Amino acid sequence: MKNLAVILRLFWRGDRRAFLVGILLSSVTILAGTALLGLSGWFITASAIAGAAGAGLTFDFFRPSAGIRFLAIARTAGRYGERLTSHGATLSFLALLRVRIFRNLAAADFARLGRFRSGEVLARLTSDVDNLDNVYLRLFLPALAGAGSLALITLGLCLVDLRLGLLTGGLILAASAVIVVAGAVLGLREARRQALAREAIRLRAIDLSRGQAELLLAGRLEHQRQTVLDAHERSEKSADRIGLVEAWQSAGLFLAGQAALLLVLALGAPLVASGRIGAAALAMALLAAFGAIEAVTPLGRGALGLGRTLLAAGRLAPLVVDPSPDAATSPALDEPTREGIPELALQEVSFGWRRDSPIVSRFSLVLGRGERLALVGPSGSGKSTVLALAAGIYPPGAGRVLFRGGDVRRFKGALGYLPQASALFSGTVAENLRLAAPLATREELWAALEIAGLAPRVAELPEGLASPLGEGGQGFSGGELRRLALARLIIFSPSVFLLDEPTESMGEELGLSILESLFASRPDAAFLYVTHREGEARLAHRIIRIGAGGLNPARV
């Protein structure tokens, strides 16, 4: 419930006027419908009595008829307005919530993002957010509107007879509360199971689609297909059980309504016989009681999905909390580096996935403006980890990583990082490049491609910069994709370049010439790069050589 409270606070901080208007219009709809039933019952009964008594000519047909028409129009208009207002406000809130979650995920540490499986972030932004529409539309809107309407209906019955009104209202309130809560409790586990099963279907289907070749080679293709079918079967079983609970809940609310009618009849008949109320008033009370049970019926449907809503709230609540001001605020980067303060500094930094086996232990380096520093060593020695720490991707377990004297995590996006596996997307060459600089001109794109050594290859394409690439950059070779990713980083033009094997999948001569062009084009930038080629390492002003034992205390 704590996580649900976080979501509710966001609802309230949103368009609260629309939410309150939705509750008001829903109450108007319920009251208009109940009053329409009661007035119609009174009118029919009173007309029949007047006709039987021979007073039909003097009976006022016009004002009750006008009242019935007014209530019918009010009920229709109220329902339309409530749907328009409440659904519009909910959909707007969910859209803003998706933006908020995406923004917070983009600002989160990469180590945190790395814990998500493929497709999980998409699930959070789609199905989990969609499940939160239950919070307002099917829980709090019907609960508040139903409670307010039931109170006013009870008050109206009390005007007929105090004892009749209190007992009838109390019966409906108690019976509906027990039935709704019982349905929520019985459906809680099954709703969660259904939500988890549907997520398992999605994730396993993604794994099946993307890993068909690997699964086939491992002889696990049929097994993976069966896991998808098993998850689907669990989802269907949960749906059947939820349907059964809903049927019992509907039956319980129906019986509660019949009990309320019998109670009104049992209490009202003696009152009619004694002449304290008329038969028309009893008919009005009967139909008003019938309308009262309709006021709480929608809440039962929302309660059945409570488990799914709580699961979604538990997943999303940590993602909607804004980052701390220190982590989210970046100082101005257009100021020149102050005298004596390096562009990048790692101070006694340690990092490891487990405390007893650190990958980096008390490592330090200083990189000034315009300096180039190369990390050279065997695979597994911690070179890539140092770059990830310098980029602020991994938070250090000990020590500090500073950019221009401030914590590097305050400067999200200020450093340029080229990992070993760069993300390229289905789209044109220009679209992939402009991810780094949406307003970059064609001339700037071609200049970056020229430095990366890819301009001749793109010029050969039929559509040049507008040439489409497949998913993951399909259409280019491994070396060409590496150069495209490097060109994108060049367009970004950071003050510090962090390059992890930038010439991977390229020939040694080509890679050396590309690095020379890059260094010459950005003489004021600082470079920290990993390479296994001696010729490329010698382009640096300084070299750190790491042995097979990994990164230990170092003085640079």
23 vs 2 pLDDT, higher one: 23
Is the CB of residue 230 less than 8 Å from the CB of residue 275? no
- Between the alpha carbon of residue 71 and those of residues 78, 79, 142, 295, 350, the distances in Å are 10, 12, 20, 16, 73
pLDDT in tens, 37-62: 888 888 888 787 777 666 555 566 77
DSSP 323: P
pLDDT in tens, 130-184: 878 777 888 888 888 888 888 888 898 898 889 988 998 899 889 888 988 888 8
- Tokens 């020379």, residue located: 516
pLDDT in tens, 497-534: 999 999 888 888 998 999 999 999 999 999 999 998 88
Lowest mean pLDDT among 107-116, 137-146, 197-206, 431-440: 107-116
pLDDT in tens, 330-376: 444 444 455 568 889 998 888 887 777 788 888 889 999 999 999 99
Is the CB of residue 91 less than 8 Å from the CB of residue 306? no
Give the pLDDT mean for 304-309: 78
pLDDT computed for residue 226 by the predictor: 92
Give 358's contacts (C-beta < 8 A, 6+ positions apart): 350, 351, 352, 397
Q: State yes or no: pLDDT of 413 exceeds 80.
A: no
Give 229's contacts (C-beta < 8 A, 6+ positions apart): none
Three-state secondary structure string covering 188-226: HHHHHHHHHHHHHHHHHHHHHHHCHHHHHHHCCHHHHHH
What gap in Å lies between CA 138 and CA 293, rounded to an integer?
A: 16
Give the pLDDT mean for 243-260: 88
Going by pLDDT thresholds of 50, 70 and 90, the confidence category of residue 114 is low
What gap in Å lies between CA 160 and CA 166, rounded to an integer?
A: 11
Structural element, H or E, at residue 313: helix 306-320
pLDDT computed for residue 552 by the predictor: 47
What gap in Å lies between CA 271 and CA 163, rounded to an integer?
A: 11
What gap in Å lies between CA 369 and CA 336, rounded to an integer?
A: 10
Residue 349's beta-bridge partner residues? 363
Give the pLDDT mean for 316-329: 62
Instruction: Say if strands 468-469 and 496-500 run parallel, antiparallel, or are unpaired.
Output: unpaired
What gap in Å lies between CA 391 and CA 395, rounded to an integer?
A: 10
pTM of the model: 0.64
What gap in Å lies between CA 165 and CA 142, rounded to an integer?
A: 22
Other CB atoms within 10 A of residue 404 CB: 22
The pLDDT > 90 percentage for the chain reads 15
Burial of 447 per CB tally in 10 Å (0-12, 13-18, 19+)? middle
Average pLDDT of the chain is 83
Residue 374's beta-bridge partner residues? 529, 543
Give the pLDDT mean for 406-422: 81
Q: State yes or no: pLDDT of 327 exceeds 50.
A: no
The SS3 call for residue 418 is strand
Q: State yes or no: pLDDT of 551 exceeds 60.
A: no
Tokens representing 472?
């993951």
Q: Which has the closest alpha carbon to 125: 316, 407, 294?
A: 316
